Amino acid sequence: MTWRHRAALTAGLVLLAAGFLADLTGVTDQRLSLQMAVEMMLVGVVIPLAAYGAGPLLGRGATFHPALGIVALNLVVFLGQLPLIVDSAARNSGLRELVLSGVVLGAFLFWSPIVGAGPLSAIAKVGTLMVASVPPTIPGLTMALSHHLFYQAYRSIEDQQVAGLILFGTAKFALVGGAFVVLWRLLTPGIEPDDGDDRDQPADEMPPISPAWLRHLDGELPSEAGRPREPALPALPKR
């Protein structure tokens, strides 16, 4: 396990504990938007960090099929917004923790094949992220644009609309942003060190940051490779 995996796993576990602690202490009880913010923080930030850090521990053969992750993530997102579940969870802390645990599990199944060390190609990762970003926009826009109060436990239409915007924004910015990150890594030239390689690399062996065509400008042309460079103008005689 590299230092990057250890740092990501530590940060993910600390933030995961903070999210459950905020829910257990009742900080999010009065506002639906705060509960949604905690859930989407887990989906968009915390679980990707934890899944990336746990990748070497799971191994390459322990990744899940991306279709399973898409179904699991959207299932818990849709079920978690049903009025019956939201109102019941507001009265029962145990059910609330069960819902939050389901969100964590669904997000982990989704992010593991994307940020892990599995055989999923970059194009497949982009496709998975783009497909998964579509379904959550439906409940997000419904809550954000509706003037009908869906939940009896939260009697604020403005709070419901803000919660919908948080859900919609996470689906677009976290998942679509993840797709752009994968594309950036795919199009960036140079070989990056393997995530499973824990060896320390010297500074001169680190992958270059600049594009390949820019680095070639500093080199000599093929026809000039065997001869020294000469000044373009002759030197002026000294007086």
Whether residue 133 contacts residue 175, with contact meaning beta carbons closer than 8 Å, is answered with: yes
- Spell out the domain ranges in the chain: 3-187
Q: What is the pLDDT of residue 195?
A: 53
DSSP structure class, residue 147: -
pTM > 0.85: no
Look at the block and give the residue holding tokens 């890594």.
Answer: 185
Q: What is the pLDDT of residue 93?
A: 83
| Residue 17 neighbours by CB distance under 10 Å | 11
Look at the block and give the residue holding tokens 């009896």.
Answer: 152
Residue ranges, the chain, pLDDT below 70:
59-63, 188-239
In the structure encoding, which two tokens stand for residue 93, read together? 């802390």
| Residue 45 neighbours by CB distance under 10 Å | 16
Residues 6+ apart with CB under 8 A from 153: 86, 87, 90, 91
In the structure encoding, which two tokens stand for residue 123, read together? 């194009």
Q: What is the pLDDT of residue 203?
A: 44
Distance of alpha carbon 53 from alpha carbon 30, whole angstroms: 33
Q: What is the pLDDT of residue 4?
A: 86
From residue 175, give the alpha-carbon distance in Å to each of 37, 39, 99, 197, 201: 15, 14, 21, 27, 32
| Residue 145 neighbours by CB distance under 10 Å | 11
Q: What is the pLDDT of residue 62?
A: 58
